Amino acid sequence: MSHIADLQDFVVASPTSYHAAATIAERLRAAGFTQLDERAPWESATGKRFIVRHGAVIAWVAPETLEADAGARIVGTHTDSPGFKVKPGDLLTSAGWTQIGVEVYGGPLINSWLDRDLGVAGRIVTRDGGQHLVATGPICRIPQLAIHLDRQVNDGLKLDKQQHLQPILTMVPRGGLMEHLAGLAGVDKDDIAFHDLYTFDTQRPEVIGLDEEFLASARLDNLACTHAGLVAMESAEVGRDVAVLAAFDHEEVGSATTSGAAGPILEYVLRRLAAGYGLGEDATRAFLARSSCVSADTGHVVHPNYPNHHDPVVRPLPNQGPLVKINAQQRYATDAVGTAIWLAACEKAGVPTQPFVSNNAVPCGSTIGPITATRLGITTVDVGIGLLSMHSARELCGVEDPEFLARAVTAYWSP
């Protein structure tokens, strides 16, 4: 349970991708890693290093010299979660209430966000370019209409994304949201140039179940896998291959950003590492061809109330090991070669694993796996912790699976 307790604290410390990146960076420094500046030349990139770009972190452990047949062993995750992003402009007013204008981010289960105590967190950037992380306590709420005023609500809830999802904040504003956030950041409101702010569920993660076998928490997708990769990276030792943790941002909205998997951030790090080893273009391409990637993102365990939405034979369950995710349309990048790499890591770690495939009649989601495989041309396998209620404001996993994943990643990176 120590792994779960640490995961609980990690989720609480990471209400947004920017906070997650800052938390990862802090823990890496404590584990002996040195942060490098992307904007400056790297005199040396070997040893334990990392970079931070917005809400993404790339960390690695690299040997002093690279053997001729060595490559990179990459674990890819993401730091963002579905929710609601705060719009610019003044607060909204309606029927005497003051509300925050928000826009849907990613694909949340919208109804799960109703009647929850929400905070606002993210970063504000001042006119001098300074970045300040902020996080409030529970200050807002998206209220549902009482059943007395909508007798058919239980026959099917329909929510207009503009009209029905703006959180209530106050009755008579005493200066407004930005004034409050400026005070938390210790800056003047007029010095704020812009912001990247999101609402978040403020309820703390809890271990539940008759035998305490489940973890109920916000943002398990994908902080649970990111945390597992971080725990493994903190104890990673120098080996013959370069061990890399790539915690990307913006997976929930397509990854096509400077800090997302579709951007060049990971490729640039790998190419700069190769250059540090004195590899030319041809040797760098060979280095990448010898590399592999474990894309670690959450997947689905079978739902007891909706079993027909799952494959009739392949039915993964909590606490029986992380999933290896397979899809014929390549929504997951897994193939036989990547699966063999994953099974070897699980066997070495002594942890179970289980396959996941979709019901043929149910559309399949995707991950950073196919994006990374396409961008870098390296063997990639999609794995992850199984969840119930994925993309809900509060998701559920088994308490054993996060540590299983961390142990498998450790084995994948082991010298």
What are the structural domains of the chain?
Answer: 2-81+218-413 (3.40.630.10), 83-201 (2.30.250.10)
Q: Which of 316, 326, 336, 310 is nearest to 370 (CA)?
A: 326
pLDDT tens-digit profile of 211-220? Answer: 999 999 999 9
Q: How far apart are CA 175 and CA 126, in angstroms?
A: 19
Q: How far apart are CA 175 and CA 192, in angstroms?
A: 15
Please check whether residue 261 is in contact with residue 333, taking contact to mean a CB–CB distance below 8 angstroms. no
Q: How far apart are CA 197 and CA 183, in angstroms?
A: 15
Low-confidence ranges of the chain (pLDDT < 50): none
- Cite the DSSP H helix spans in 277-397: 281-289, 336-349, 368-376
Q: What is the pLDDT of residue 175?
A: 67
Kindly report the pTM of this predicted structure: 0.96
Q: What is the pLDDT of residue 173?
A: 67
Q: Which of 142, 172, 121, 115 is nearest to 12 (CA)?
A: 121
Angle, CA 249 vertex, CA 273 and CA 276 arms, to 5°: 5
Q: What is the pLDDT of residue 375?
A: 95
Q: What count of other Cβ atoms lies within 10 Å of the Cβ of residue 101?
A: 18
Backbone φ and ψ for 226, nearest 5 degrees, come out as: -60, -45
SS3 395: strand
Q: What is the pLDDT of residue 176?
A: 87
Q: What is the pLDDT of residue 107?
A: 96
Please check whether residue 323 is in contact with residue 314, taking contact to mean a CB–CB distance below 8 angstroms. no
Q: What is the pLDDT of residue 174?
A: 64
Q: What is the pLDDT of residue 177?
A: 93
